[in-house]
Amino acid sequence: DESPAERHGQLDATECCWRRAPLPPAHLCFPGGRARLWTAGLRAQGGPGTPDGVEAAPLQFDATCFGVEVWLKAVRPSVGAPLPPPAVHYPLAGDMGTDVSGNALHGVLLAEPVYEQGPRGLALRLNGADQWLQLPPSCALLPPGTADFTLLLWFRCAGPADSRENALGVRLVTLHSTDQGDDFSTALALGFFGDGTSVACTYRTEAGCLDSLRYACNYSDGQWHMLGCQYTDSKGGVLRLYFDGQAVMSRRVGPLAPTGTHFGAVGSFCPTTERQRDCTNFGDFGLFGGALQDMRLYHCRLTAEQIHTLCCRPCSASVMEVVSASGSPGLLSVTLHNGLATNSVDWLYEEGSVCFTVVDSGGQMLQASTSQFPFDGAWHHLKWSVTDTTANSMSVLVDHQQVYLHFGRREAPQEQLRPFHGALRLGHSDQETPSKHFFEGQLRAFKLIARGVNPGAMEDVVYFSLTDGYGREALDAAQGNRAKLEGTIWQHEPSVL
């Protein structure tokens, strides 16, 4: 048994033997390009015996509660440089400061969080007065002795970020070099110079000198921008400042001061100092007012191409989609993604993630993604369960293990999802998106489970085994209909029992 359950059988050599089958089982292979499986619509009757030109009744089902199961073998879609795993990753997208890198360096949001729409769904909005994110100790985020590192963060602000202290400025991220956490104990920071004219990377050298790289630009135009810095010890201690994926300033700074045990901060430089506790407006001393999203810290040097990959438009591959009636935005889809896009809110998930989307006829969306699917070219079972779209309730299992979901939009879709009907597509998408979605890999045992129009038990709405192994059609065993195949290949297994 090749499933994770590993319920193996035992063969009696006196009763059976291995022989090559006359027609080995096959799986449907999508070689990429324009390969696809499609139906004109989901049908409740008709099937292969329906005479040409006779319309079958549309199959309607309740899409507020449904399940999708499929076995797939795939490699991740990619047009950019592959990315290493980050040491720290805060999506800041409605997840309350959770670190999704796997290292459990979670932050704590101080003051009630507020969210707005960002480049990857929801984004954390700070008021610049008393809201910020307290991080773990600075030395845990960036251990002393780390030779190379890259720090990146998305931000948006509608006005200049200025401060009373030019040297401190307004901070997006701060890591401290001493344990006291006073105003001038900064080891490394990203933010804005105090006069509000420039983005800046503030740093402290091993000799104790506090200085900054500054780049004058129109960062306060109300658009989303990516700010970052990169340190390379192997090149004599070179520090680079990045803005919107491009290196804009660099300087040989030598060894940097080590980080200390005082906590790091997002949206502030140190809100616990005496000067800030005593002032009436914390915003005068470095708290950021604006929106933040997707902070990443890598303990390595990303290449220029990798940094650009995080700013470029995505390449995607559609595993499946079901669309509602013609002219309606209604949609159920599973899509593989490869990267972020700039200043857009559609299909924005990092390389190697799988995105799950429900959209009702009014355009309300429930959307989430996981990066825990193994794109290793082996067979894996994927199960997507939506228990109630009106409560934004969904879960995903990979090889029977529940995975973490990063939610982008939770708008409780419900309009005309009960009933829902339309065309089914596997391996491609016809949606208007930044790129075409042609899947490359193999699929088998695709199943859509839902309730009918009338409340009742869950049942198979569609079931394609995709092991027929012949022809330019695939049989839907649930309803007896056939789907058209274009550009696909039947790939046979070498032997069976």
Q: How far apart are CA 137 and CA 144, in angstroms?
A: 12
Q: Which of 258, 289, 309 is the last residue of a domain?
A: 309
- Asked if 423 and 322 count as a contact pair (C-beta separation under 8 A), the reply is yes
Asked if the model's pLDDT at residue 50 lies above 50, the reply is: no
pLDDT given for residue 4 in this prediction: 66
Q: Are residues 291 and 383 in the same domain?
A: no
Asked if the model's pLDDT at residue 53 lies above 70, the reply is: no
Residue 372 lies in a domain: yes
Q: Are residues 410 and 326 in the same domain?
A: yes
Residue 222 lies in a domain: yes
3-class state of residue 425 by DSSP: strand
Q: What is the pLDDT of residues 238-285, one digit of tens each?
A: 999 999 888 999 999 999 999 988 888 888 765 444 444 444 444 445
Written as one string, the DSSP assignment of 444-493 is EEEEEEEE-SSS---EEEEEE-----SSSEEEBTTT--EEEEES-EEEE-
Q: What is the pLDDT of residues 72-110, one digit of tens each?
A: 888 665 545 567 889 999 988 776 788 888 898 999 888
Q: How far apart are CA 84 and CA 214, in angstroms?
A: 28
Side chain identity at residue 354, one-letter code: V
Residue 356 lies in a domain: yes
Phi, psi of 234 (to 5 degrees): -65, -15
Nearest C-alpha neighbor of 190 from the set 138, 229, 132: 229
Q: How far apart are CA 255 and CA 326, in angstroms?
A: 62
pLDDT given for residue 271 in this prediction: 45
Residue 397 sits in a domain of what CATH number? Answer: 2.60.120.200
Q: How far apart are CA 148 and CA 120, in angstroms?
A: 27
Count up the domains in the chain and report the number.
Answer: 2
- Burial zone of 490 (CB within 10 Å; 0-12 exposed, 13-18 middle, 19+ buried): middle
Q: What is the pLDDT of residues 354-394, one digit of tens each?
A: 888 898 888 888 988 887 888 787 889 999 999 999 999 99
What integer is the mean pLDDT of 144-155? 92
Q: Within 10 A of 131 (CB to CB), how many other CB atoms are there?
A: 22
Q: Which residues pair with 483 in a beta bridge?
A: 474
Asked if the model's pLDDT at residue 495 lies above 60, the reply is: no
Distance of CA 439 to the CA centre of its chain: 18
* Domain encompassing residue 149: 88-309
Q: Which residues pair with 156 in a beta bridge?
A: 291
What integer is the mean pLDDT of 430-444? 67
The residue that leads in pLDDT, 463 or 451, is 463
- Asked if 392 and 414 count as a contact pair (C-beta separation under 8 A), the reply is no
Residue 5 lies in a domain: no
Asked if the model's pLDDT at residue 201 lies above 90, the reply is: yes
Residue 4 lies in a domain: no
Q: What is the band of 55 on the pLDDT scale with cuts at 50, 70, 90?
A: very low
Averaged pLDDT of the chain: 77
Q: What is the band of 130 on the pLDDT scale with cuts at 50, 70, 90?
A: confident
Q: Are residues 433 and 286 in the same domain?
A: no
Q: Are residues 230 and 301 in the same domain?
A: yes
Q: Are residues 334 and 381 in the same domain?
A: yes
Q: Are residues 259 and 383 in the same domain?
A: no
Q: Which of 272, 290, 309 is the last residue of a domain?
A: 309
Q: What is the pLDDT of residues 210-220, one digit of tens each?
A: 888 999 998 88
Phi, psi of 189 (to 5 degrees): -155, 150
Q: What is the CA radius of gyration of the chain?
A: 26
Cα three-residue angle 193-228-100, rounded to 5 degrees: 125
Could you give the percent of the chain with pLDDT greater than 70?
72
Q: What is the pLDDT of residues 299-345, one digit of tens each?
A: 999 998 888 777 764 456 778 888 776 555 677 888 775 443 333 33
Q: Is the pTM of this model over 0.95?
A: no
Q: How far apart are CA 338 and CA 354, in angstroms?
A: 9
pLDDT given for residue 352 in this prediction: 66
Residue 219 lies in a domain: yes
Q: Are residues 368 and 411 in the same domain?
A: yes
Q: How far apart are CA 111 and CA 127, in angstroms?
A: 10
Q: What is the band of 198 on the pLDDT scale with cuts at 50, 70, 90?
A: confident
